[in-house]
Structure 1
Amino acid sequence: MSEVKAAIRDDLKTAMKAKDTLVTGTLRMLLSAIQAEETSGTAHALTDEEFLKVVAREVKKRGEAAEIFTENGRDELAAKERAEADVMARYLPQQLGDDELNALVDDAVAQVKDELGDDPTVRNMGQVMKIATAKAAGAADGKRLSAAVKARLA
């Protein structure tokens, strides 16, 4: 069992003892998503990278649900979804600031420039995104990363 999964289980026990229903329910949902990922296809223990993808996906789901609830005037449900996302986000790496993100994008663009021998354009966005995503390793939201790459290449 990975260290992070063990930490989630310990946090779940603590939340259950404290009778914190929000954290208890959220961590149970997260563990369920992790277990579903582990047992899909060929059963295997998740790598740290796969674990981060599962947590990021669950946080993103909560954020999207909160937006939909807000649009439809259901602020109490939106607040619950945001609170769940905050609990799950504890297990993600610290998100990059704007300066760090721009530096990462610049490095990726420079690497692609070395490969191509010319300045990359928007047509080479896929190559830049592949490198930038690998370097970010879950520390930047895909939407934010894509926008930064697009702005840099435009």
Structure 2
Amino acid sequence: MTTLKSKLHDDLTTAIKARDELRSSTLRLTLSAIAYEETAGKSARELSDDEVQKVITREAKKRREAAEAFDKGGRADSAERERAEGEVLAEYLPQQLSDEELATIVAAAVAEAQAGGAEGPRAMGAIMKIVNPQVAGRAEGGRVAAQVKKLLAG
């Protein structure tokens, strides 16, 4: 078992013993998503820590989007629950990049891509190829794309 997955299992056990309903239900759902991912496809396999982290990231994003939808629907109590679950999941993810750090990385990638001859809309793809490995897991693709568009337009 991967170290991140075993940490989730250990934390689930601790949360159940402490009768922490929010944490235990959130970790159960996340472990269920990991188990589904492991059995999806033609053959069952063990996920690496990076793959487990991607599943946790995806689950956290679902919570964020659900909270926004509940806010728009006027269901503040449900939105608050989703945000709290997102905070539990955030503990298992690497520290997110600040806007300034992201801007610095993207600016360097824009300069590198333009030095390589990339211009116009095609530069977007070249820049994203440079930036994505550097920010993997530490910034959402939407944030990165918005920053790239902002720098290309300006």
Q: 2:70 touches 2:78 (CA, 8 Å); kept in 1?
A: yes
Partner AA of 1:52 in structure 2: Q
Q: 2:114 touches 2:123 (CA, 8 Å); kept in 1?
A: no
The reply on whether 1:37 has 2:37 as its aligned counterpart is yes
The reply on whether 1:5 has 2:5 as its aligned counterpart is yes
What's the % identity of the aligned pairs?
50
Equivalent residue, structure 2, for 1:126: 125
Take 1:152 and 1:50, find their aligned partners in 2: how far apart are those partners?
31
| Correspondence list, 1:11-50, <5 A | 11-41=11-41, 42-50=43-51
Partner AA of 2:51 in structure 1: E
Structure 1 residue 40 displacement after superposition: 0.8
Identify if the C-alpha distance between structure 1 residues 114 and 43 changes in structure 2 by more than 3 Å, giving closer, same or farther. farther
Partner AA of 1:22 in structure 2: L
Q: Normalising to structure 1: TM-score of the pair?
A: 0.91
Equivalent residue, structure 1, for 2:148: 149
Take 1:134 and 1:49, find their aligned partners in 2: how far apart are those partners?
13
Identify if the C-alpha distance between structure 1 residues 48 and 111 changes in structure 2 by more than 3 Å, giving closer, same or farther. farther
Partner AA of 1:23 in structure 2: R
Structure 1 residue 21 displacement after superposition: 0.4
The reply on whether 1:69 has 2:70 as its aligned counterpart is yes
Take 1:124 and 1:12, find their aligned partners in 2: how far apart are those partners?
45
Structure 1 residue 50 displacement after superposition: 2.0
RMSD of Structure 2 on Structure 1 (CA): 1.4
Mean Cα displacement is larger for which, 120-129 or 17-26?
A: 120-129
Structure 1 residue 51 displacement after superposition: 2.0
Partner AA of 1:51 in structure 2: V
Structure 1 residue 53 displacement after superposition: 1.8
Partner AA of 2:145 in structure 1: S
Gaps of at least 5 residues in structure 1 are: none
Q: What is the number of residues matched between the two proteins?
A: 152
Mean Cα displacement is larger for which, 127-136 or 14-23?
A: 127-136
Gaps of at least 5 residues in structure 2 are: none
Q: Normalising to structure 2: TM-score of the pair?
A: 0.91
Take 2:53 and 2:26, find their aligned partners in 1: how far apart are those partners?
16
Q: 2:26 touches 2:88 (CA, 8 Å); kept in 1?
A: yes
